[in-house]
Structure 1
Amino acid sequence: MNSVTNRGVFWMILSCTAFASMWVLIRYASREVHAFQIVFFRCAIGTLVLLPMMLRNPGLIRLSRLTANLRRAASGFIATMGTFYAVAHAPLATALSINYTAPLFATAGAVLFLGEKIHFRRVAALAAGFAGMLIVVRPGALPLTPGVLAAVISAVSTAFSIVAIRQLVATDDSRAVASWTFILMTPPSFIAALFVWRWPPADVWPLLVAIGCAAAVGQLAMNKAFSLAEASAVLPYDFVRFGLVTLAGIALFGERVDQMTILGGVVIFGATVYLAVRERQVARALLAASVPERPD
């Protein structure tokens, strides 16, 4: 790997660590505060964390990019609400395994709604990935709890966010993309929180502040990783998050992770990485075909 790709990998691992820490903090905070309230504090505190950076760079937040960022924030809002609820009410490894299907939904959506061509290898990878989700969820064998359903909704919404983030960081500063996300998600998350509002106890406030900080760091780091390197180069390192979250569930919350959940998670993740690699190969082949040959 070249130095730029190495930097992308570093930012991806940092993002994984920050998001894994956030999930642990969410589980602790959800014992006293509803998940929807935690989403609001995540957005509001994250905005405050990013505010000094925004003030030092007054051109970072451009109103001309409001519409594009609104689309990303809309899907991000639904995804975050679903993720936080799933983390609070479902086994961590199960919630994360389902969350890993987001790139699969993104690929399927591009085929269905954007008319992208799909070949046998991508079809096989998608089939394997969704089979992995069935292994994790096991319809009929395991109850479809609200937490698991929230994780599925989150995965579908995250798919739209992934596409939006990749499009935005191709032209915009990754810091601006992260900042817009927190700013635009704060008002709707506050409205949602009002329906379940109760003032957090004093001992929960440090957790809420830490969640906001971890979310800001994780979002900045992920956007930075995608802006520095191709998704296929950094995506495999996202499995660090699976390991950290699974270990946290076992060590801190006494969760039992069965072999089927691990197997399903590995299958989903493998399919996701394969799709990223294939997209890179296809993109390079198209680029090579579009370059005219030089005359001898």
Structure 2
Amino acid sequence: MNRVAYWESGRQRLRSGRLGAGWMVVAAFFFALMSVFVKVGGRSFGAIELLFYRTLFGALLLGGVMVLRRRNPLTPNWRGHLQRSLIGYLSMGLLFYALTHLPLATAITLNYTSSLFFTLICLVRLKEPLTRTGVLGLTVGFGGILLLLRPSMSSDMWFAAAMGLASGASAGLAVFQVRELGRMGEAPWRTVFWFFTIASLFGALLLALGPGFTPLTGTTVWPLLGIGLTGMCGQLAMTRAYKEGSKFLVASFAYLTVAFSALLGVLLWGDVLPFEALAGIFLIVFAGVLAARR
């Protein structure tokens, strides 16, 4: 195929919506935008409240689609869904906290260590053999974490950084649980629906027993709408990417969220990361791509 035919084929795929793994690029951009709205919303709301509105929006929208398509949400795997939802809720809550206290790229990168922790979980739980690629990925990845969490990091950022890294570890466990639910025969849409629903109920309970709900105003409501809309668009684009594209390419393109977040952090807040942090981010992304090939 010559260059003209290649670009013409690309334009046709773009017009028809058949982007394959390219949908993950769209998803990565929307997830980066969601992180921006979380950071902005953090000025008026706590992490638990931001996460509540994120999951509530998803539960209502996905639930409406399921009603229209007459999808049955009932499942015999309640315990698996409950475990996956609570671990996923913990991961997102920790991420939202990190986003409100760290530079955008740093918080996102720490969360994206999930692929490294997923690899470790598979080694321990499934007794999977560790390949040379796996060894290289883990070594490079955790070396990147050490660079990113360098000793020169200011003391007021250490707790948030630890929470960001914990969000990556719990996200790795959540991905493992999603994998197990898939092996039980659960459809992806049902897994996502119950995650949103259980997380929303759990978040409402925490808010009712704790700080309560912050009154909404015309100024504070728009970041919440932004979180819901961009989060759902990212979820839909990611789902389509895994359906149509090569899994390795999709997993690799997911790390564009880090690049988009870094760019948005510079443009919106003037985030300037030192060389050690940039090198750590690069190593973690490289390790994640290796982990996707294992």
Deviations 1:62-118 (A, max 9, x none): 322433322321221010100100101111111112122110011011112322221
Q: Tell me the amino acid that sits aligned with residue 196 of structure 1.
A: P
Amino acid of the structure 2 residue aligned with 1:146: F
With normalisation by structure 1, the TM-score equals: 0.85
Gaps of 5+ in 2: 1-12
Q: Distance in 2 between matches of 1:56 and 1:209?
A: 23
For the pair 1:238 / 2:251, whether they are aligned, the reply is no
The two structures have a TM-score, normalised by structure 2, of 0.85
| Unpaired runs of at least 5, structure 1 | 280-296
Structure 2 counterpart of 1:250: 266
Say whether the 8 Å CA contact 2:98–2:161 is kept in structure 1.
Answer: yes
Partner of 1:183: 197
What is the aligned-residue identity percentage? 25
- Pairs within 5 Å for 1:1-296: 7-139=19-151, 141-143=153-155, 144-168=157-181, 171-194=185-208, 195-197=210-212, 198-277=214-293, 279=294
Task: Give RMSD over aligned pairs.
Answer: 2.1
Q: CA deviation at 1:263?
A: 1.2
- Is the alpha carbon distance of 1:105 and 1:77 closer, same or farther for their aligned partners in structure 2, counting shifts above 3 Å? same
The answer as to whether partners of 1:178 and 1:216 remain within 8 angstroms in 2 is no
Which residue identity is paired with 1:182? F
d(CA) in 2 for partners of 1:261, 1:213: 31
What amino acid is the match of 2:106? T
Question: Would you say the 8 A contact 2:113–2:284 is kept in 1?
Answer: yes
Call closer, same or farther: CA 1:274–1:163 in 2, change over 3 Å.
same
Amino acid at match of 1:58: R
C-alpha distance in 1, partners of 2:154/2:37?
26
Which residue identity is paired with 1:173? A
Q: Structure 2 CA distance, aligned partners of 1:91 and 1:16?
A: 17
Cα deviation for residue 188 of structure 1 reads 1.1
Shift of 1:142: 4.3
Structure 1 residues 60 and 222 mapped into 2: Cα distance closer, same or farther (>3 Å)? farther
Q: Residue 5 of structure 2 corresponds to which residue in structure 1?
A: none
